[in-house]
Amino acid sequence: MIAELGLAMLWMAAALAVLQLVAGALALRPATAHLAGIVRPVAMLQGVLVACAFAALISLFLSTDLSVKLVAENSHSAKPFIFKLAGTWGNHEGSMLMWVTIMSLAGGFVALIEKRLREETLIATLAGQAFVSLGFYAFLLLASNPFTRLAEPPPEGAGLNPLLQDIGLAFHPPTLYVGYVGLSIAFSFAVGALVTRDVGPAFACAMRPWVLGAWIFLTLGITAGSYWAYYTLGWGGWWFWDPVENASLMPWLAATALLHSCSVLAARNALRTWTVMLGVIAFSMSMVGTFLVRSGILTSVHAFAVDPTRGTFILALLAIYIGGALLLFALRAGTVTEGARFAVVSRESALVFNNVMLCGILGIVLVGTLYPLLTEAMGVKVSVGPPYFNPVSAVFAIPMMLVMTVGPVLRWREDTGGRITWQIAVPALVMAAALLAVELLLAPINLLPALGLAIAPGLAVASLQPLVGRNLRRTPLPIYGMVVGHFGIAVALFGMASEGAFSTERLAAMNPGDSQQVGPFKVTLSAIDPVAGPNWTALQATVAASYAGAEPIVLHPQARTFANPPGNRTESALLTRWNGQLYSVLGEEGEDGRWQMRFWWKPFVPMIWYGGALVALGGLLALLGRVARDVRRLVAIDKIAWRRERQGR
């Protein structure tokens, strides 16, 4: 009953999306302008209906209704509550329903609160949003129905993959989805503004919170995903330029560029077409990411060719939305002027430079990710990996970070280098001193880590400069957001460079009682014991690690064996100090009875993820600042309207 109800609500929501699209499109014509009134309520109702459908699916998973195919295939009655809940989106159909739910709720929310835009532009935006949703409704209802019933329910469900039964991973997909979907709202705003040729500061102000929100979630998702890869995979790597990672990095790069160009548009009414273009690109990258991950094309082009239904569907959606938006862009771009002008030395220029460099990196990642698929389709298998991505993206990233040191202290419109001599000199001196220290005092290290170690401290100092000479209590929150975000980039860069430059590895075959030196640590293997968990058994090593002769700390790396479904997993044990992490892994038993142990000492490696968290925090501060100002503004407008009304009486 609940499944049928959910499906019915999903169909009704899809019908409402059609209504929203048609009414919205008609409302833009003078003859049928009276239809505009129904677009907002329809958008809100649509959001509520999909949310109810999603709630229905959640309740099916919580009650483990095995007559529903999706539940039978992906759940198990004996799972803990939290993984029954997370199981709702731990599968293809459920995750697509979640996507549509977030998207429609966001659309309904826009309809509910957005008051800055011209009504026409808002209607066009909502129509655009309905158009995008419709594609996903079609995908859901025609190619991946989550509510399909089974004729004969099985006695028990198949269970959730044990790797997914991890609290971090349970919430990783929703985090990235919120990011992707937030960019769909930015896309709809861009389309709406193009339709009504109404690209200006109001449009940028309306779009900015959505871009910021999406960007915060993408940042968190990528940071958490990187840490997860680091601690679960057992070899100490934190970024692999894997296509799945790239799929999440590309929307982030585009969103970062969009965020900055939005600021220019909001503050200076410049970069109009460029901002709209980025809005289209950012969502395109989300769609490309979804296609890469969902179509199965990554595992092998051939696997994709075997069952191309869903992949083709997403590819068609991609072509319709991106192609359509680009066509609209090509038709309208000529009529949207680029806006206010600015001098070579100005904050706008620095932001334009940042945008172009980010787009350069984006282009590199896109080409490097897609090109092997292309050659594979042509019958030649090539690999593109870190030796390509690292240096090539650095060619763009390093100039960008150098400009980033001065950008925030430049004035809008026009400035001179002479005015900010000190602000340029201080970070430059810090960088030069750091580079000198790295080259003279340390053993020779590779070029990229050395540059990273030099740039990071200078960037950290430079990121604080916008606060110099300000009254800190009256500084607006978005300024703090920028400072914290840029500082976070410096922190993360330092962690990455330090990991690349100073990591020490120690592989050793050990008997209990043996010791090894790993960087500043002396590690002693004390014992190997069998242990058991709720659904696994493991061999557990007891390792005593002593930092530079201090009191030893005990670590327990494990080699786990899962029974149902069967699988092995190494469980590394980490010892975190303020200046780095000791990483320990228990390997297999050798022929001579000794155990393969792997240790790494990675100085300052946690700063990579602290940095990522700081960047997200910076985004949050900026968002809070913007939203608070908008709320105050709305309250003020309401007050004025209320007073006028009273005076009118």
SS3 517: strand
Instruction: From residue 401, give the alpha-carbon distance in Å to each of 176, 197, 460.
Output: 26, 34, 11
How many Cα atoms occupy the beta-carbon half-sphere of 75 within 13 Å?
Answer: 29
Q: Is 92 in the site for other proteins (CB under 8 A)?
A: yes
Stretch that binds other proteins, among 5-13, 28-36, 348-356, 621-629 (CB under 8 A): 348-356
The interface with other proteins within residues 289-328 (CB under 8 A) comprises: 293-294, 296, 298-300, 302-304, 306-307, 310
Binding-site member from 347, 598, 602, 626 for other proteins (CB under 8 A): 598
* Count of residues of this chain found to bind other proteins when the rule CB under 8 A is applied: 87
DSSP state of 299: T
Indicate the residue among 242 and 638 with the shorter CB distance to other proteins: 242
The 483-522 site mask, x for binding other proteins (CB under 8 A), equals: ----------------------xxx-x-------------
Q: Is 384 in the site for other proteins (CB under 8 A)?
A: yes
Q: How far is the CB of 583 from other proteins (least distance, A)?
A: 13
State the DSSP string of 401-432.
HHHHHHGGGSPSS---GGGGHHHHHHHHHHHH
Q: Is 368 in the site for other proteins (CB under 8 A)?
A: yes
Stretch that binds other proteins, among 120-128, 483-491, 536-544, 563-571 (CB under 8 A): 563-571
Binding-site member from 47, 213, 360, 485 for other proteins (CB under 8 A): 360
Q: Is 341 in the site for other proteins (CB under 8 A)?
A: yes
Stretch that binds other proteins, among 69-77, 181-189, 418-426, 469-477 (CB under 8 A): 69-77
The interface with other proteins within residues 565-594 (CB under 8 A) comprises: 565-570, 587-588, 590-591
Q: Is 243 in the site for other proteins (CB under 8 A)?
A: yes
Q: SS in 3 state form for 221-283?
A: HHHHHHHHHHHHHCCCCCCCCCHHHHHHHHHHHHHHHHHHHHHHHHHHCECHHHHHHHHHHHH
User: β-pairing, 580-589 with 573-577?
Assistant: antiparallel
The interface with other proteins within residues 136-165 (CB under 8 A) comprises: 144, 158-159, 161, 163-164
The interface with other proteins within residues 12-31 (CB under 8 A) comprises: none
Helix pair angle (119-138, 36-62), 10° resolution: 40
Q: How far is the CB of 232 from other proteins (least distance, A)?
A: 6
For residues 261 and 254, what is the distance between their CA atoms, to the nearest angstrom? 11
First to last CA, the chain: 54
Q: How far is the CB of 627 from other proteins (least distance, A)?
A: 31
State the DSSP string of 494-516.
HHHHHHHHH-EEEEEEE-TT-EE
Stretch that binds other proteins, among 363-371, 403-411, 461-469, 619-627 (CB under 8 A): 363-371
Number of helices (H) and strands (E), helices first, in the chain?
18, 10
Q: Is 232 in the site for other proteins (CB under 8 A)?
A: yes
Position 311, amino acid: G
Nearest CA-CA partner of 14 in 137, 143, 176 = 137
For residues 637 and 435, what is the distance between their CA atoms, to the nearest angstrom? 54
Binding-site member from 151, 330, 344, 441 for other proteins (CB under 8 A): 344
Q: Is 551 in the site for other proteins (CB under 8 A)?
A: no
Q: Is 533 in the site for other proteins (CB under 8 A)?
A: no
Binding-site member from 357, 404, 431, 482 for other proteins (CB under 8 A): 357
